[in-house]
Amino acid sequence: MTKKITIVSNTSWSLYNFRLELARNIKNAGYEVVLIAPRDEYSDRLSQEFEYHDVWMNNKGTNPKEDIKTTVQFYKLYKQIKPDAVLHYTIKPNIYGTIACDLLGIKTVNNIAGLGTLFIKQNFVTKIAKGLYKYSQSKANKIFFQNNDDYEMFTSERLVERHKCDVLPGSGVDTLRFEAIEHHREDDTFRFLLIARMLWDKGVGEYVEAARIIKMNYPNIQFQLLGFLDVANNSAISKEQMQEWVDEGLINYLGVSDNVKNEIAKADCIVLPSFYREGTPRTLLEAASMAKPIITTDNVGCRDVVDDSVNGYLCEVRNAADLADRMEKIINLSEDERAAMGQAGRRKMINEFDEKIVIDKYIEAIEEILT
């Protein structure tokens, strides 16, 4: 009888954009695959290829009643679907989905990544989250981390058992799809691009301030932003604030795109000055795979993607002046020097971050816990 694997995340968008190849490879390995995530505009795309189920959760809320409701929904869904193993992504599925699986005797593989705002400010809510993680992850069969910083924090604070854990190269990148594309500028404009949800925690404010500094001496440099605006998050940047920056001539806001690859191809350098507690930012992996030089912060998750001065530059966290300094360095490199940086990033992605590494580890983990 075919074993059934369920993959769960906090948005259908993230399953579609980040977990689809994993789902396909697990299916190709002979398993039946079921997907679960809250319904959004990407849910129908998932259901065209896989069995899909909606689940309600408040991704940003900390209301215990709401979280109990989510746990009950997980319990009912898992009881109905009867999976042999569940792969959880993001905080609430990791915690409440695992608790539901434990009650039903279902094996779990969890991915702890992108701890975000919750772990930037150590407060009472953080303590509760750590307690919930410690309890729930004691029930998990396998736990993956996307960077060594998170792995060391969780194991040193004894929130997880070390023998269950392994570290992945982020969520990996499809190096065949995100290949280097030779791009010829239509004009002589140099373009920086930041791709992320438009959150202050992602360093968008520092990026805009760095743009202000750079434009004093390099008026023709273009600063672009791509990603969801005015999202349900305490750190969200408002539409009004974005319009102010656009009106001031500091940045170009590109909106949202399902074809990030095209936007990366048109940029000269990808920037992510995040102080969010990242897993390993997928957009940086995709940019490096496309042989683009990168500027990012010397911060959890981000620093893993860049060898400083080899395939890009690391800058100080929350320091717009330092970010502007690294941008100026990139601007003043020759085309050949920037190309060499990009190629170094491409090699790093193939050797260390290829999606195949992640997929193989997942299939190995599934086989291990189901035997």
Segment 240-280, tens digit of pLDDT:
999 999 999 999 999 999 899 999 999 999 999 999 888 89
Is 253 exposed, middle or buried, given 0-12, 13-18 or 19+ CB atoms closer than 10 A?
Answer: middle
Specify the pairing of strand 85-89 against strand 32-36. Answer: unpaired
Measured between alpha carbons, how far is 302 from 305 in angstroms, rounded to an integer?
6
Q: Which of 194, 180, 163, 18 is nearest to 89 (CA)?
A: 18
Res 126: pLDDT: 78
φ, ψ of residue 109 to 5 degrees: the values are -125, 120
Contacts 24+ apart (CB under 8 A), 326-332: 326/295, 327/192, 327/210, 327/214, 327/269, 327/271, 327/295, 328/214, 328/217, 328/218, 330/268, 330/269, 330/293, 330/295, 331/190, 331/214, 331/218, 331/221
Q: Is the pLDDT of residue 103 over 90?
A: yes
**Mean local confidence (pLDDT), 38-63:** 93
Q: What is the pTM of this model?
A: 0.90
For domain 4-172+354-370, give the fold: Rossmann fold (3.40.50)
Measured between alpha carbons, how far is 83 from 237 in angstroms, rounded to an integer?
39
Span 191-352 CATH architecture: 3-Layer(aba) Sandwich (3.40)
Res 191: pLDDT: 97
User: Which strand (E) or helix (H) includes residue 325?
Assistant: helix 320-332
For 263, the token pair is: 């936007």
Res 118: pLDDT: 59
**Mean local confidence (pLDDT), 186-213:** 94
Specify the pairing of strand 165-167 against strand 85-89. Answer: unpaired
Q: Is the pLDDT of residue 58 over 60?
A: yes
What does the mean pLDDT of the chain come to?
94
**Mean local confidence (pLDDT), 22-37:** 98
Q: Give the Cβ contact number of residue 331 at 10 Å.
A: 16
Res 185: pLDDT: 65
With beta carbons less than 8 A apart as the criterion, state whether 136 and 103 touch: no
Res 279: pLDDT: 85
Residue ranges, CATH 3.40.50.2000, the chain: 4-172+354-370, 191-352
Res 88: pLDDT: 98
Report the SS3 class of residue 178. Answer: coil
Measured between alpha carbons, how far is 98 from 60 in angstroms, rounded to an integer?
19
Report the SS3 class of residue 296. Answer: strand
Q: Is the pLDDT of residue 120 over 60?
A: no
Res 64: pLDDT: 86
Q: Is the pLDDT of residue 42 over 60?
A: yes
Residue 214 CA to its chain's centroid (Å):
28
